Amino acid sequence: MSTRNTLEQAWQASATARSGDLREYEALLRGDELAIGVVMSRFSQEVGEGLLSACTSELKRLGVPGSGITLATVPGALEIPLTLQAMARSGRFDALIALGAVIRGETYHFEVVANDSCRALMEVQLDSGVPVANGILTCEDDDQALVRMHQKGRDCARVAVEMANLLAAIKEQS
C-alpha cells in the first residue's frame, strides 16, 4: 500500500470519528483578556527584534491588549528558560513565548545551546502547566534567521493564544 493511500485512509478514519459523538476542542485564536509573557534573547539582536515585532503585531491582531503583553530580555538563549520559569510561577500569565536565535558557529556550542534551551522550554511548560511557544530559531547563518524571523514570530503568537484558550477550556470542563 502506498504512503498516499495510507494517509488518505487515516484522514477518512479521522473524519468519520469526528462525525460521531466525539467531543472536540476547537482551535480558538481570540486573545481578549489574555496575559502573555515574552522572553527575548538579546544575542542576535536584529533577529530577536524581528521576531518580537512580528509576534507582538500578531498578538495584537488576535485581540491581546498591549497591556496584556509583558516583555523581559535576557543575554542569550540559555537564560530564557529560567526567566520563563519565574514568569510561569508568578501565576500572572496565560501563555509564554520564547524568542531568540542560535546561529551555528565552528564549535559544538551550537548543539549544546540549541538542544538545552529547547529541552528546558519543554520542562518549564510541563512543570508549570503554562504553555510555552518556542520561537528560538536554530539556523546555519544570519541570513537564514532573517528570512525565518517574521513567520516564526507570528506563529508563536498564534500558538500562545491557541494553547492558552485550549487549556482554559479543558480546565473549565474539569
Cα dist from 156 to 38, 103, 160, whole Å: 10, 19, 6
Q: Smallest Cα–Cα separation from 137: which of 124, 150, 123?
A: 150
C-alpha cell at 37: 509573557
Answer yes or no: 109 catalytic: yes
Q: From the candidates 89, 92, 109, 119, which is the catalytic residue?
A: 109
Cα dist from 121 to 29, 53, 116, 131, whole Å: 22, 21, 9, 9
Q: Write the DSSP string, 5-54.
A: HHHHHHHHHHHHHHHTT---PPP----TT--EEEEEE-TTHHHHHHHHHH
8 Å CB contact between 21 and 156: no
Indicate which residues carry an active-site annotation.
Answer: 109
